């Protein structure tokens, strides 16, 4: 049946190349019926759990899955066009809104589909300025919805979709028609560029993740380009009235002792260079709390002076939804100088601990650490120990001598030593040994200096923006992790001559306002493969009740990233999170390989894989649809569009899998 699945997908792709677009256009034009579906009301499903309470697809029949529809948006970019100089990444997870499947494209077009057939209800084009230099790629991870609970005679915009854009706008759309809600902001738009401070270029301030709806408020953060300058745009988080768009509060995440009279601020009084919230927030509606996953302030690798803007950086910060005031915060890194910012949406779940229900928040981090906190107080539920770490180099005076560590079972990524040098042949293994012998190596939190330093886990992760998935019934966490080391170094300002001498580095940054520029690159051999022992990508299940790992298995093969395209199941890097279903399945794309996989939640055994036409650097979702005969059909949906800066195959596909009729 696996071969049937691949054949079916290939057949669909071939047909699409010979007229499928016209067929889908006709189907979309004729689609009017709204379906009755199960819930997937927000990004991450509900409360960021990435859990679907559906069980038609199970371990006994998952091997029969095959594509049931495929939709192509037309939006992708390799970054090699003068009109669109930034590449794209298709990282979206759709949301079910009023019987429609709604998603956004890398160009921020918002599209509503029939969830059963993939037929199009409507599409909205905000006409984003694609000429910007978008350092985070052109990306839109999702949208949010809101239904006005107040009685109202109006028919338009009672049900709204809120979406952010790469060029810095928050939009409100009518969920039924896709048209702008004219009573929100200025004609349905709010320009979030205003107030964050001057930008060196279009795209230095960018919105990549969905806004958060909590009560009658819609809350937006923003992504700031890393490493450019000390006085970067503010990482301010702002809340707006969901009806009118009136700004209700703002929190710029400056440290408590920040002096607004003497320190740099924007024209609206927000502190510059503060931590930003580029990942997806989550809310506890009942407690009226918003949880922010924060990044570290800019630049990543060097800051000096007082106060350190990292007070709320690389942390989970809980805000009161009605005021924006801080309720509590927990730093996952103390004084972060490794770009370990928290990008993944936290997951909220109620845990049964010694017969007592405890409100928990679970956060995965780039270090591959998973922290379990009481979401009411911020106190750890799973023990955290503060362990000594190295303190040396140009930043010794600002480095913390200790860092928080969860128990070993909650650490899912790998560190690296010289003895870990690896290659497919003696030649490339020797290359890797030479690099490691010439670089500084050490445990996690080894300080960055003027010499090349191995950082493992790296700024790629560990666990990146996808976060983790949580089964609230079995009380099991599933995490996808990458194990790709990076080389990073500081460059004295008077020695920095741009790319001269660093032609091989994939990233150079000025870190303006500091004595050092920065260079970093993945630690790879000439074969283009990581220099550390595989697996380079894993998936891990953790039983919260026992505090033990149930299993950890490699995730992905080198088929699509190696010069030799063989399906060697070695585990490869990637981004994106797992999906858990109540039938005990784990669906996972994410890897640098054009495959969607299903695992058994209990054992980690791989039960199915479906070949895709492009990279699935996204988190899947699942739901069931009521059919005309009263029965239900479960679908699993994944975006397959790749990631231009990371080399996976590009595309514009949204694909739904289901069991045969």
pLDDT at 565 over 60: yes
Compute the mean pLDDT over every residue in the chain, rounded to the nearest whole number.
92
Beta bridge partners of 71: 654
324-338 pLDDT per residue, tens: 999 999 999 999 999
Element (H, E) at 606: strand 606-611
Tell which wins on pLDDT, 522 or 529. Answer: 522
Least confident of 204-208, 283-287, 559-563, 615-619: 559-563
Q: Cα dihedral sign for 648, 649, 654, 656?
A: negative
Confidence of residue 441 (pLDDT cuts 50, 70, 90): very high
- Do the bridges between strand 579-581 and strand 51-52 make them parallel or antiparallel, or are there none, so unpaired? parallel
CB atoms inside a 10 Å sphere around CB 46 = 17
pLDDT at 245 over 90: yes
Q: What is the mean pLDDT of residues 360-365?
A: 98
Distance of CA 5 to the CA centre of its chain: 28
Q: Are the beta carbons of 308 and 357 closer than 8 angstroms?
A: no
Task: Identify which of 644, 627, 646 has the alpha carbon closest to the alpha carbon of residue 635.
Answer: 627
pLDDT value at position 447? 97
Q: Which residues are CB-neighbours of 173 under 8 A, at least 6 positions away?
A: 110, 124, 160, 161, 162, 163, 179, 180, 181, 188
CB atoms inside a 10 Å sphere around CB 355 = 5
pLDDT value at position 31? 56
- Do the bridges between strand 315-320 and strand 326-331 make them parallel or antiparallel, or are there none, so unpaired? antiparallel
CA distance 349 to 145: 21
pLDDT at 2 over 50: no
Write down the CATH number for the domain with range 2-658. 2.140.10.10
Residue with tokens 């942390």: 315
Long-range Cβ contact pairs of 311-315 (< 8 A, separation 24 or more): 311/254, 311/255, 311/256, 312/253, 312/254, 312/255, 312/274, 312/275, 313/253, 313/275, 313/341, 314/275, 314/340, 314/341, 314/342, 315/275, 315/342
CA distance 167 to 132: 8
Q: What is the mean pLDDT of residues 161-190?
A: 98
User: What whole-number percentage of the chain has pLDDT above 70?
Assistant: 94
pLDDT value at position 104? 98
Token reading at 319: 């805000």
pLDDT at 131 over 90: yes
pLDDT at 21 over 60: no
pLDDT value at position 10? 29
pLDDT value at position 563? 62
CA distance 57 to 59: 7
Confidence of residue 17 (pLDDT cuts 50, 70, 90): very low
- Do the bridges between strand 653-658 and strand 632-640 make them parallel or antiparallel, or are there none, so unpaired? antiparallel
pLDDT value at position 3? 28
Confidence of residue 246 (pLDDT cuts 50, 70, 90): very high
Could you give the maximum distance between any two Cα atoms of the chain, in Å? 74
pLDDT at 13 over 90: no
CA distance 183 to 201: 30
Number of C-alpha atoms within 13 angstroms, CB side, residue 235? Answer: 29
pLDDT at 432 over 60: yes
Least confident of 29-33, 54-58, 283-287, 327-331: 29-33
Residue with tokens 């998936």: 539
Q: Which residues are CB-neighbours of 657 under 8 A, at least 6 positions away?
A: 5, 65, 66, 67, 68, 596, 610, 635, 636, 637, 638
pLDDT value at position 151? 75
Q: Are the beta carbons of 413 and 388 closer than 8 angstroms?
A: no
Token reading at 184: 């929100």
283-335 pLDDT per residue, tens: 999 999 999 999 999 999 999 878 889 999 999 999 999 999 999 999 999 99
pLDDT at 526 over 90: no
Q: What is the mean pLDDT of residues 402-426?
A: 93
Tell which wins on pLDDT, 154 or 213. Answer: 213
Task: Identify which of 388, 409, 413, 394 has the alpha carbon closest to the alpha carbon of residue 453.
Answer: 394
pLDDT value at position 32? 66
Token reading at 602: 């209990």
C-alpha distances (whole Å) from 563 to each of 524, 532, 582 are 14, 18, 39
Active site residue 339: yes
621-626: strand order across its sheet: 66-72, 653-658, 632-640, 621-626
CA distance 113 to 100: 6
Q: Are the beta carbons of 588 and 601 closer than 8 angstroms?
A: no
Confidence of residue 100 (pLDDT cuts 50, 70, 90): very high
- pTM score: 0.93
Q: Which of 252, 284, 336, 339 is catalytic?
A: 339
User: What whole-number percentage of the chain has pLDDT above 90?
Assistant: 85
Number of C-alpha atoms within 13 angstroms, CB side, residue 349? Answer: 26
Q: Cα dihedral sign for 61, 65, 68, 69?
A: positive
Task: Identify which of 183, 159, 28, 12 has the alpha carbon closest to the alpha carbon of residue 95.
Answer: 159
């Amino acid at each position: 049946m696996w071969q049937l699945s691949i054949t079916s997908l290939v057949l669909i792709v071939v047909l699409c190349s010979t007229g499928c677009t016209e067929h889908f256009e006709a189907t979309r034009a004729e689609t009017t019926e709204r379906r009755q579906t199960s819930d997937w009301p927000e990004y991450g499903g509900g409360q960021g759990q990435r859990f679907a309470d559906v069980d038609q697809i199970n371990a006994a029949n998952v091997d029969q899955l095959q594509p049931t529809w495929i939709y192509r948006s037309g939006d992708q970019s390799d970054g090699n066009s003068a009109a669109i100089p930034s590449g794209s990444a298709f990282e979206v997870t759709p949301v079910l809104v009023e019987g429609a499947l709604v998603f956004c494209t890398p160009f921020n077009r918002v599209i509503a589909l029939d969830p059963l057939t993939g037929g199009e209800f409507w599409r909205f084009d905000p006409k984003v300025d694609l000429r910007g230099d978008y350092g985070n790629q052109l990306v839109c991870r999702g949208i949010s919805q809101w239904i006005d609970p107040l009685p109202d005679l109006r028919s338009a915009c009672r049900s709204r979709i809120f979406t952010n854009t790469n060029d810095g706008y928050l939009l409100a759309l009518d969920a039924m028609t896709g048209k702008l809600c004219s009573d929100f902001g200025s004609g349905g738009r709010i320009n979030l560029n205003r107030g964050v401070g001057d930008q060196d270029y279009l795209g230095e301030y960018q919105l990549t993740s969905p806004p958060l709806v909590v009560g009658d408020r819609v809350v937006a953060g923003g992504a700031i380009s890393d490493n450019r300058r000390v006085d970067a745009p503010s990482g301010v988080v702002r809340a707006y009235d969901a009806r009118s768009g009136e700004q209700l509060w703002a929190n710029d995440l400056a440290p408590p002792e920040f002096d607004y009279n003497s320190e740099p601020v924007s024209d609206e009084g927000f502190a510059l260079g503060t931590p930003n919230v580029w990942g997806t927030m989550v809310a506890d509606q009942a407690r009226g709390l918003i949880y922010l996953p924060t990044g570290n302030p800019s630049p990543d690798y060097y800051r000096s002076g007082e106060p350190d803007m990292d007070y709320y950086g690389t942390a989970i910060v809980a805000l009161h939804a009605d005021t924006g005031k801080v309720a509590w915060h927990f730093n996952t890194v103390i004084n972060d100088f490794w770009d370990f910012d928290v990008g993944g949406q936290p997951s909220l779940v109620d845990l049964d601990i010694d017969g007592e229900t405890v409100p928990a928040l679970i956060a995965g981090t780039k270090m591959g650490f998973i922290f379990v906190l009481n979401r009411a107080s911020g106190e750890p539920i799973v023990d955290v120990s503060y362990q000594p770490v190295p303190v040396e180099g140009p930043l010794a005076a600002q480095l913390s001598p200790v860092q928080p560590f969860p128990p070993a079972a909650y650490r899912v990524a790998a560190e690296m030593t010289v003895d870990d040098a690896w290659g497919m042949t003696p030649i490339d293994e020797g290359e890797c040994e030479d690099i490691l012998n010439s670089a500084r190596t050490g445990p996690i939190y080894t300080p960055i200096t003027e010499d090349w330093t191995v950082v493992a886990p790296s700024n790629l992760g560990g666990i990146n923006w996808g976060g983790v998935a949580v089964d609230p019934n079995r009380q099991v966490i599933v995490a996808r992790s990458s194990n790709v080391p990076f080389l990073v170094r500081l460059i004295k300002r008077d020695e920095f001559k741009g790319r001269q001498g660093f032609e091989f580095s994939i990233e150079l940054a000025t870190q303006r306002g500091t004595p050092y520029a920065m260079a970093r690159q993945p630690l790879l051999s000439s074969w283009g493969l990581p220099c550390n022992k595989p697996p380079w990508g894993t998936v891990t299940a953790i039983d919260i009740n026992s505090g033990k790992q149930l299993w950890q298995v490699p995730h992905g093969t080198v088929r699509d990233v190696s010069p030799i395209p063989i399906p060697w199941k070695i585990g490869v890097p990637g981004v994106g999170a797992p999906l858990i279903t109540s039938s005990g399945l784990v669906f996972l794309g994410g890897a640098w390989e054009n495959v969607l996989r299903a695992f058994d939640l209990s054992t980690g055994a791989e039960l199915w894989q479906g070949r895709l036409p492009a990279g699935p650097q996204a988190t899947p979702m699942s739901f069931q649809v009521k059919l005309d005969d009263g029965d239900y059909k479960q679908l699993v949906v994944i975006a397959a569009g790749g990631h231009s800066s990371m080399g996976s195959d590009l595309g514009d596909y949204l694909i739904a899998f289901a069991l045969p009729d």
